[in-house]
Each structure stands twice: as structure tokens, then as C-alpha cells.
Structure 1
Amino acid sequence: MSAEPRSDRASRYPAIHARSIDDPEGFWGDAARAVEWIAEPRAIFDPALGVYGRWFVGGLTNVCHNALDRHVDAGRGQQPAIYYDSPVTGAKRTVTYSEMLREVRILAGVLRELGVGKGDRVVIYMPMIPEAVFAMLACARIGAVHSVVFGGFAAAELASRIDDARPKVVLSASCGIEPNRIVAYKPLLDLALTIAKHAPSACVIFQRPEAEAGLKEGRDLDWAAMREKVATSARGVECATVSATDPLYILYTSGTTGKPKGVVRDTGGYMVALRWSMEGLYDVKPGEVFWSASDIGWVVGHSYIVYAPLLAGCTTVLFEGKPVGTPDAGVFWRVIEEYKVSALFTAPTALRAIKKEDPEGLLMKDYDLSTLRTLFLAGERADPDTVVWAETRLGIPVVDHWWQTETGWAIAGNPVGLGALDVKVGSTGVPMPGYQVDILDEGGHHVGPNRMGSIAIKLPLPPGCLPTLWQQDERFRESYLAEFPGYYKTADAGFCDADGQLFIMGRTDDIINVAGHRLSTGGMEEVLASHPDVAECAVIGIHDELKGEVPCGFVVLKAGVARAPNEIEGEIVALVRERIGPVAAFRIAIAVHRLPKTRSGKILRGTMKKIADAEPWNMPATIDDPSSLDEIAAALSARGLPKASAA
């Protein structure tokens, strides 16, 4: 990183990580003192319980108490808990810890009125509004298990999650707001409930003025009316006593087919890990402003919009907008200035979108960004070109860190709170406490430095990671633990260098085999991204009769590039040949207007590959712009490559 480490803490990471591996119970036992317990755990870790062991066994606590009540009790009730900023509606709202506690108590009272109790499930299908956060914490307050489904998710996918979680109540809103359209949620929910076999006893609907929804008599209830009904008695809704090993939420991984894969997050381990990460990794203190530019439908939103900042007594930014188009590529910088953000956490794709619209970063100069100390990236691989672009223009450390829905917090990163390490551009840093990360070959044997392999984490996983899948222990074993005994399989591929720094090159299915050579599409994407006219890119492996697979690169050009696309495509092919060599067999580069992505910004490489290989494919439920896949199919067809139709 370009920033100088803090000299008084520069050497803390190696000793801290070593202790977490050599004495995990001592390390996490100490970390657990940062949260409040109703009853202390009788065992920090019990290897005999669960699929691979359980953390903080016998401990009793409550997440909502730790996120809200304890801060109010400590006299910090007037501190902002949430800055809500919605450029798509023009609405802004500041919610203090005291105000938030009152609203959460009221909504918890609504849930209790509807018969929801400890262990019952509640599906939350809502946009990025404060009431969605209230809903999550209200469930935690009474010991109910929430399952947030991304607002606007397709009806069939929502139905499958309702059938799997079997919620007693669904909390939803009438609509969500996109930059150029209103997405009516209620018709999608109604359709999902006609598809689903399970029927919740009630649906509580928050009416937004942009598109109010009709309510079905006998099932649907108006949020405002229910709030008013219980408001006077809700102060008595105190926190339920919850076991550390009880589930806090179920979060379904995107892109699953058949029976949904519900990641279970336990209560105690999650609290302890997140609380450690806010200071140890992100270097953010109580009272400071932390902004995770994600959505509560994703794991990043659960962990770092809602729970971690509030557990740490920070102020969190709840942003209902996009990095570009609401209204322009300067909106992130406006939010940072307005709310004095200390640390920003976003996806690389958001930065690439900003870079495409404002390649020179001119809009940054319109805002005072002096409070911003660190920019964190996660969600997909951060290509070095984007990292250098951001570092150069912001003049602060840009920290790529790597984690998964399943882990709930970072597997590897640059622990700024322990003294920023000298991490190499392209690396995702070093393992966080509790993670022993190894690189294995197909036979499960360790490979040496700088050799590509499957990335695996030695069991047990640290606190905060999933203990299992919802009611599917055997599927959990088969999906994650069977291939490499004694390890959790991340399904990511990469390597460690001689200094122990980790490089994530993509999913294991992004390693392509070209005439017997195992090559990383992520490494090729680095080369494509280095071309001065390329804003973002994706490389996939497509079937080839002679070589098995060959790479195909798609590029989106920066705004204002006037040169002929075919000229740039030729330069890109030559660049890959120069940097990687003829062995890559890289001959296909295609310029497109946009890459197909999920709403969280992940590029849909798997679907692109199916189109290129003429395999049946379905429109992904989480896709942001369906027409982007049509453009990919047309571009491939124009090159004489196979084209499939959506199944």
C-alpha cells in the first residue's frame, strides 16, 4: 500500500495471527470481552458439537442489546446510528441510537402481536430504507431468525426461499426505487406466495409514496397501522435471552438451483468476529462514520451496513442509490463529504463504473474528502489497475480484502487497525485471525509459493463463519468439507507468494485448461484492464475442439474513447500475447457496451460461458440488466461463435 504504517502498531499482526492459530480459545476468549453476555460461555470452542465444532458454547446474549441498548445505556443515545441517504428519492434522514431503539422495540412488538417468538423465521423483502434495518434488529431482539431476500428478487426465487425458511411472517415494502424505474415489490410477493407451498400467517407492508400497494384482506397488514397499534406498549419489549449457538439469520447464496442453500449465521461467534474486525481490520472507532456501499440483501450489507458498525458504536450510512447515474459519478464523493465518512467499503465494480464515467477523477476535486482514511474493496477480484487508479487519485490506502457469504467476514485483508502492512498490488493481503489458509492441488497436497491451486481453510473455521446450512448438515459436508478432508473448500483459486501474501485469481471454475496449461482468467483480466482505453473487462474460457478451452475477453471502453473498437481489440490481443505469451491462445477480444452483472456488481461469467458454449441457460434471478446478456449473445454470434437461447 502507498500509506505509511502506524509505527506503534506495525509489528502487531504476525504475533496476533500466530496466537489465533496456536491458541484460538485464548485469542477468541479475549475478543469476546468486547461484547456483553447475559451468561459467560462455558466453553470457548467445543469440537464435539455441530458439524466441525461450535463457538462460545453455553454463552447467553442478545445481538440487539449489543447493537443498540448498551450504547443508549452508556449515554450515547443522541449519536446518529444511521445516516439514510436516498438520491433516487431525494430523501435524507438521521436516526439516532435512541430513536432506532424505540423503532426496533415497536416493530418487535408488532412481531410479537403476530405470534412471532424465539426461533420463528421472518422473511424480510425490502429496499434500502431504515425500516429494513429496524426489521433485522427487531427479529434479533425477540430471538426470531430473519432471512433477508434482496428487494425485487424474482417471484420464483423468493418462493423457494419462503418454502425453505418457512417464515411465520413476511415483512415487505410496496416498492423499491431504481435510478430510472420503480420496482413494485407487492405483485412479486403476491406471485411468490401463489407459487410457494408454505403460507406465512401475515405479511406486513411498508407503504412508500412512490407506489402504494393493495393489501389482501386476511393476510396483508399495513405497517404504519400496526406500528400505531403497538407503539404505546412497545417499550416493554425487552431483549430475549439467546444462546450463542442459536441462529441469528439465514442468508441464501445467489445463483443456487434446486433446493436453496441457506447459510446459517450463529449469534455469539458472529458478534465477536464482527466486533474484532471493526477495529482490527477496518480501524474504525466508536462514534466514527463507516459506509458500506452495498445492499442489505447481500452478506456485506448484513455484516457491514447493519451489525458490525452498530456493535462497534459507529454511525452507518444507508445509501439508496448507485455509484453512477444518481445523479453522476461524483455521488460517492458527495456522501463522504456530507457525512464525514472515515472508511468506505465498496465493490471493485463500483469503482470501475466511476472510472469509466470520470477516468481522470475530476469529480473528486469538487468535494472535501479529508475525513476518508481508507477505501476497502471486496465482492470480486480487485484488478491492480483499478486499485492504482483509486490510490493515486484519493491518496489513501486502498485495501482489497477477500471473503464469502459463508464466512460472514474477511478471510484475508490488510489489517489497518493493527498497522497497515506493505501489501502488494494484486494481493488480497494476509489471513485474518483464526484463518489458516492453505493452497492445495487436486489431490489435496500443499503446493509451494507462487503455484496456483485451490484455496482451502483448515478446520475449524473461526467465529462468524457458517456452522452449517439451514437444515442441511449433509449438504454442508458434501459442498464444503468432503473434497479436502480437514479443510473448508472455498472454491476459489489462487496462490501465496514467498511472503505469505494471498492472491485470489478467481473461482476454481475460472481456471481454464488451454492445451494442458492451467491458466487464470483473472490474470488475463489484469492485462486487459491495463489497456488505457478499457474501463472494465471479463475473460471466460470457451470450448475449443483442439485445445479444450480458449480464452475470450469482453471489454467495456472508457467514456469518450473515439477510436474504432476493432483497433482496440487487436491491441488487447497483442497485449496478452506480450504479457502472458502465446501459451494463453488469446485471440478473441470483443468490445461491448456493458457487462452482465448481478445487482451486487458481480459479473455473470458463468452465464456468459454457457452462452458461448451453446449450453442451456436461465436468466439469473439477480441480474441487473437482462439486455446485457442479449448483447453478449449477439456479439458472440457476430464472431461465428455458438449462441444459445434462454431455457
Structure 2
Amino acid sequence: MANQQSDYAVQYQAAQQNPEAYWAEQAGNINWFSPPQTTLEALPNGSHRWYPDGELNSCYLALDQHLATRGDQVALYYDSPASGVKQAISFRELHEQVARFAGTLKGLGVTKGDTVVIYMPMIPEAAVAMLACARIGAVHSVVFGGFAPNELAIRIDDARPKLILTASCGIEFEKLIAYKPLVDKAVDLATHKPLHTLVCQRPMLQADMDPARDLDWYDCQQGAEPADCVPVQGKDPLYILYTSGTTGAPKGIVRDNGGHAVALNYALHNVYGMQAGDVWWGASDIGWVVGHSFIVYGPLMGGCSAIFYEGKPIRTPDAGAFWRVISEYGVNAMFCAPTAFRAIRKEDSDGTLSKQYDLSSLKRLFVAGEKLDSSTYHWLDDLLGVPVIDHWWQTETGWPMTSPMMGWDNPSASRLGSTNKPIPGYDIQVVDGAGQPVEANETGNIVVSLPMPPGVAWDIWNQPQRFTDSYLTAFPGFYHTGDGGFKDDEGYVYITGRTDDVINVSGHRLSTGEMEEVVSAHPAVAECAVIGMQDSLKGQLPVGLVVLKGDVDIDPDVLEAELVQMVREQVGALACFRKAVVVQRLPKTRSGKILRAILRKIAANQDYKMPSTIDDESILGEITDIMHRSGMI
């Protein structure tokens, strides 16, 4: 649909007026074994599912359908500065590896509907594992490599996998992280016991094997018959993905096969503007939703060459790592979280390292996952000279909710601070606490009218009532995103943060995200987090935790005074922003999101559970010490 009736207003209205007809048309753009007779089915909980009775196979769409036309094209460029390994794997080669490994899984007793947990680093075998499960109709659950054993055990007990697939180690900068002992402890802790653990031995660290339970990744494939694709229904689950940062029982988001395939095909071509043969880089990890949608399934289904990168944006070997990858593989479009570019900018504030590389292949850069502050936007815009596109989506949706349609003529212009307009199929509304619509430019709860478009989760694994309670109950008739924000007069959506990222200062509800935008614009600031501190007089007062750029030398008192003045001028005196504390680093998830909820608990002297997704636990101790020394607690 790249140039077919690609007027945004026409397409959006068509999806609004008759969603069933609109998405029935989109379903015709993928190869079904048996096309769906039912396009949309209402569910008792008020949600919906798409194409429930169509038959297809997600692995077939990612690999088999391309063999005749682009079998020799590179499917995955594996680039691992962490291990010094590079590979270019064609569609034909990847198909052979996946079919053989799928046959191995079948030989070990895995059948359609069984679950398999994948706990692996960013190595090609991880993509092979995902696709092999899809090939035989098994349901995979990728758990981010390096999760603590207890967290992995909780997911094992919830998913009840027949097998666990892992590797001997992952690599974080120069540090080797042994995975096998973590898996062994998790299995010991879990009530459910998988039949086997398959271990991909990496040369830099060999795992000890238990012959009663463990199997070598490649040895067990000897003599395996390649497996054909198993037809599954559109409503059948493709994967379970546990959301990060949850407390209590994990929340296993279930993704179906049919809606997922249609949505990713639609998004890759229409939202991201990619065509078969293009080179795409989703700079994330398969442990997150981006890795599922836009490292493995989306680009391969669309016939693109995907970058599979094992490394960090800095120190691999320097802050020019991303620019090297773009240049070396001719990346046409890239997706990344803003925090990665803030890390690069902190190390190389002038962007000098980018001048060493030919970046002419890059047509556009997409960012999502957290707020794109104006200073980072301008730095990237000036440095790269290509569209820098902020957009918004969630694990639950599996693909974007707001974005300009870059595959169409005349996509919506970027508007700083906004994640752009709703994508066709998403009727995004802003409501108050009673569920009543608010006026344009007025902040409220961001919700989406039902039915949601294809590809969006409609269940939580083993906990259907929890899905209803979490997403459909607060605002009947809507999906509750949990984000706050507003829409302007022209329908552009502005995300101000999670609805709990709002503080109450003397009765005024103020967005910490808005203050972070101001603080991050200071030329000395690399990144920041603004949190609310309890105050006996005003209820709450904002405090900024600030990380400086690497080449900056500024007196903390001078910086604090300048930041206080900036917030006063741009937000107002009512914000009562009076304190800014310099810290060396901020606690983040492994996907780069700042753990603001934990910072709030530390500041309030409240107990907190160590987040399973935290990148480095020691940071919390550093932050606690700094808060004590600065008189915050």
C-alpha cells in the first residue's frame, strides 16, 4: 500500500468507519494457507480477536515464502563486537538451520501448543530457536538473558515449558555472564521441571553439563529430519512475553499468529516505509517486544535484511559503534531507544566519531520506548540530517500506536514533544478519571477505543481475568494504556509519562516529564530524572537527578541554580523546582528505561522489590548514598 490511496485522512477514516472491512483488506497482503472466514470475533471480556479461523504459519512467512525469490539474499547480518564475530546468513541458510532445529525439537517431544522457554543472548541461534518453535506450532517465551534465577523460575512455573533453550554465556561489554548456572538454579527453584535444557556452547565460556538433563545444542541435531511448517489458526498463540517491571505474579502477554502477521506486514511497509531487499536495524534485544516484532518476525516477513547486533552503543569499542554498523551494512532505517543516543552523546558530544563513517544509506531514524527530549532530538537531527521520528507503542500492542506513516506520500510532519498522530486502526482518546473526554490540549488518561486493531494482545497467559482487570475495567469500552498525555487541536498525541509520573505540588498536578524536558535541554546535562519528594507543606516537591556529559566541568551549585531558573521560566514558579543533584548514572532496565518508580521509593524511604529487569543493581546503593548526603532522605 506504499503509494496506493496513501492519504492519511482517507485511510484513518476508513479504518474508523469499518474496521472489519479495512483489516480484511490488509489480511489479503499476507500468504495464508487457508484465508480466514471470520475477520473479527468479539470476546466475552469485551475484547476482540482477529482472523481466528484462518490458517497460516509465521515461520513460513518469515522464511519459506522468500526462498524462490530471494533465497540468496542476506536475512540476518550477525554483528557481535562483544565476541568479535560477524556472519551474513541468507534466507536459504537460515531456513535450513531453522528446519533442522525444528526437527530436533519435534524429536524431543515438542508438539503444537507446547511451550518452550528461550533464555539466550543475541546470537543467531536465538533467532533460529524462535522461528523453529513457530515452525512446529510451539509457543515460545523469550526471557531476557541474565535475568535472576528466581525471576526465571517464576516464568518457568507460569509458562510450564517442555524445554529450556539457553547458551553457555552472554557478554556485557568485556564481562562474561555464565547463563547455565542461572538456568540450573531457576530449574531447581521452579515447581515445574522441563524435560531438557539445550545449551549452545560458546567458545569463550563452556558450561558444565548434567548428562541426565542437559543436551548440547549441535550434538542433539545430528540426524534430525528437517521439519515442515505446521498450519496453525490465526487465534493460536505464537509467543508469550512477560512484561518488565511487574510486581507479584508475572504478566505473560500472549501474541496470536494471525493478527500479529497482518499487523507487522502493515507496520513494516506503511509505518516504517521498508521494502523487500532493504536493510533494517532494530537496535534492541529479543528479550523485549521490539526484538520480537522488529528484529526477527517483522523484517524477515517483509523480505528485509535485518541486523542482529550483540553489543552496546558505547565501548564496543567506542561511541562510534552504531555509526560503524550503519555504514558497514548499508542500513536504510533504524529503530532505537533515546537512551542509547544519550549515552553516545555523553561520550562524543560533538558527534566527531560519526564523521569517520559513510552514513548516506540511512534514510530515517525511529526512536521509542521513552520520551525523546528536545536536546537529543536536535543533536540527532543536526548530526544525521535525516528524519528523526518519535513514535509510541507498548509490549501489549506489539506494534506502533502513533507514528507518521513513512511508507505513504506526505507523512505527517514531526512535531517536537509529540509521538505524532494515531495510526489507522487506533482510535486514541484522552479522558478524565471518570472516563469523560477532555478538551484538546488538556492532559488526561490515554485510552484506545475497542476494538483494537490486529496484532494487539487480547489475553494474559493463564490469567484471562487479569487481562480484563488490567486493561479493560478502568474505562469500559476502552483499552487503558496506563499512560497520561494529551492531544492537540490537530490530533497529535503527546505522552507525558505513566499516569503515576505526575506529582501534586500545592494542589497543582504537574508532569515530571515536562520538567525533565527542560532540565535535559541544559548543555551540561546528558540525561536526567525528575521525581517527587514528600513535603509537609506542599505535598510534593520535584527534585532533579542529573547525569553530566562526559566532557563537562561545572560547579554543582552553579548548575543547580541554572536549572532552577530554567524550570521557573519554562514551567513556572508553581513547579517549585529548587533542587538538582548530580549523579554518576541512573538506574535503568536492560532495555534502557529509567526506573523512576524505584527512585521514588528510595526518595520516600519505602521498601522496594529489586526489579528483575535492572541493568546494574549497585546503582541503587549509589543513588541512596547520594540522596542521604544531599539531605533528600
In structure 2, stretches of 5+ residues that fail to align are none
Partner of 2:168: 174
Residues 1:51 and 1:167: Cα distance change in structure 2 (over 3 Å) = farther
Distance in 1 between residues matched to 2:25 and 2:607, nearest whole Å: 52
Per the TM alignment, residue 206 of structure 1 is displaced from its structure 2 partner at its CA by 0.3
Task: Indicate yes or no: 2:121 matched with 1:152.
Answer: no
Indicate which of 51, 54, 63 corresponds to 2:58. Answer: 63
Distance in 2 between residues matched to 1:112 and 1:633, nearest whole Å: 50
Partner of 1:353: 343
Q: Which amino acid aligns with 1:64?
A: C
Task: Indicate yes or no: 2:117 matched with 1:126.
Answer: no
Indicate which of 294, 303, 315 corresponds to 1:313. Answer: 303
Per the TM alignment, residue 114 of structure 1 is displaced from its structure 2 partner at its CA by 0.7
Q: Secondary structure at the match of 2:170?
A: strand
**Count of residues paired in the alignment:** 631
Residues 1:582 and 1:9: Cα distance change in structure 2 (over 3 Å) = farther
Residues 1:407 and 1:242: Cα distance change in structure 2 (over 3 Å) = same
Partner of 2:433: 442
Judge conservation of contact 1:51–1:467 (CA < 8 Å) in 2.
no
Indicate which of 183, 191, 194 corresponds to 2:188. Answer: 194
1:79-118 equivalences in 2 (<5 Å): 79-118=73-112
Task: Indicate yes or no: 2:451 matched with 1:460.
Answer: yes
Task: Indicate yes or no: 2:618 matched with 1:624.
Answer: no
Partner of 2:477: 486
Distance in 2 between residues matched to 1:200 and 1:583, nearest whole Å: 57
Per the TM alignment, residue 49 of structure 1 is displaced from its structure 2 partner at its CA by 6.2
Q: Secondary structure at the match of 1:611?
A: helix
Tell me the percent identity: 52
Judge conservation of contact 1:50–1:467 (CA < 8 Å) in 2.
no
Judge conservation of contact 1:400–1:428 (CA < 8 Å) in 2.
yes
Runs of 4+ in 1 over 6 A off after TM superposition: 8-11
Partner of 1:203: 197
Cα deviation digits, residues 193-236 of structure 1 (max 9, x gap): 11100000111000001111011121110011012231xx22xx
Q: Which amino acid aligns with 1:461?
A: M
Distance in 2 between residues matched to 1:86 and 1:516, nearest whole Å: 51
Distance in 1 between residues matched to 2:6 and 2:245, nearest whole Å: 41
Q: What's the TM-score once normalised by structure 1's chain length? A: 0.96
Judge conservation of contact 1:324–1:330 (CA < 8 Å) in 2.
yes
Judge conservation of contact 1:62–1:141 (CA < 8 Å) in 2.
yes
Judge conservation of contact 1:10–1:420 (CA < 8 Å) in 2.
no
Per the TM alignment, residue 472 of structure 1 is displaced from its structure 2 partner at its CA by 0.9
Judge conservation of contact 1:383–1:529 (CA < 8 Å) in 2.
yes
Q: Secondary structure at the match of 1:408?
A: coil
Q: Secondary structure at the match of 1:573?
A: helix
Q: Secondary structure at the match of 1:81?
A: strand
Task: Indicate yes or no: 2:245 matched with 1:251.
Answer: no
Distance in 2 between residues matched to 1:133 and 1:520, nearest whole Å: 40
Per the TM alignment, residue 551 of structure 1 is displaced from its structure 2 partner at its CA by 0.9
Indicate which of 40, 49, 53 corresponds to 1:45. Answer: 40
Cα deviation digits, residues 351-387 of structure 1 (max 9, x gap): 1111111111111111100010000001111112211
Indicate which of 552, 573, 582 corresponds to 1:582. Answer: 573
Per the TM alignment, residue 632 of structure 1 is displaced from its structure 2 partner at its CA by 1.2
Task: Indicate yes or no: 2:262 matched with 1:272.
Answer: yes
Distance in 2 between residues matched to 1:342 and 1:350, nearest whole Å: 19
Q: Which amino acid aligns with 1:17?
A: Y
Judge conservation of contact 2:46–2:472 (CA < 8 Å) in 1.
no
Distance in 1 between residues matched to 2:58 and 2:6, nearest whole Å: 33
Q: Secondary structure at the match of 1:94?
A: strand
Deviates more, 1:317-326 or 1:561-570: 561-570
Distance in 1 between residues matched to 2:91 and 2:256, nearest whole Å: 24
Partner of 1:3: none
Partner of 1:520: 511
Per the TM alignment, residue 167 of structure 1 is displaced from its structure 2 partner at its CA by 0.2
Judge conservation of contact 2:336–2:368 (CA < 8 Å) in 1.
yes
Q: Secondary structure at the match of 2:63?
A: helix
Indicate which of 600, 610, 617 corresponds to 1:609. Answer: 600
1:472-511 equivalences in 2 (<5 Å): 472-511=463-502
Judge conservation of contact 1:610–1:617 (CA < 8 Å) in 2.
yes
Task: Indicate yes or no: 2:421 matched with 1:426.
Answer: no
Question: What is the alpha-carbon root mean square deviation over aligned residues?
Answer: 1.3
Q: What's the TM-score once normalised by structure 2's chain length? A: 0.98
Task: Indicate yes or no: 2:628 matched with 1:637.
Answer: yes
Judge conservation of contact 2:45–2:468 (CA < 8 Å) in 1.
no
Cα deviation digits, residues 399-432 of structure 1 (max 9, x gap): 0010000000001011111232112111100111
Distance in 2 between residues matched to 1:473 and 1:365, nearest whole Å: 52
Distance in 2 between residues matched to 1:109 and 1:609, nearest whole Å: 49
Judge conservation of contact 1:51–1:468 (CA < 8 Å) in 2.
no
Task: Indicate yes or no: 2:536 matched with 1:536.
Answer: no
Residues 1:299 and 1:80: Cα distance change in structure 2 (over 3 Å) = same
Per the TM alignment, residue 131 of structure 1 is displaced from its structure 2 partner at its CA by 0.3
Judge conservation of contact 1:173–1:206 (CA < 8 Å) in 2.
yes
Per the TM alignment, residue 27 of structure 1 is displaced from its structure 2 partner at its CA by 1.2
Judge conservation of contact 1:148–1:297 (CA < 8 Å) in 2.
yes
Partner of 1:392: 382
Deviates more, 1:138-147 or 1:8-17: 8-17
Partner of 1:24: 19
Distance in 2 between residues matched to 1:52 and 1:621, nearest whole Å: 29
Judge conservation of contact 2:412–2:421 (CA < 8 Å) in 1.
no
Cα deviation digits, residues 305-347 of structure 1 (max 9, x gap): 0000001000000000001111111110100000000001000
Q: Secondary structure at the match of 2:543?
A: strand
Q: Secondary structure at the match of 2:526?
A: strand
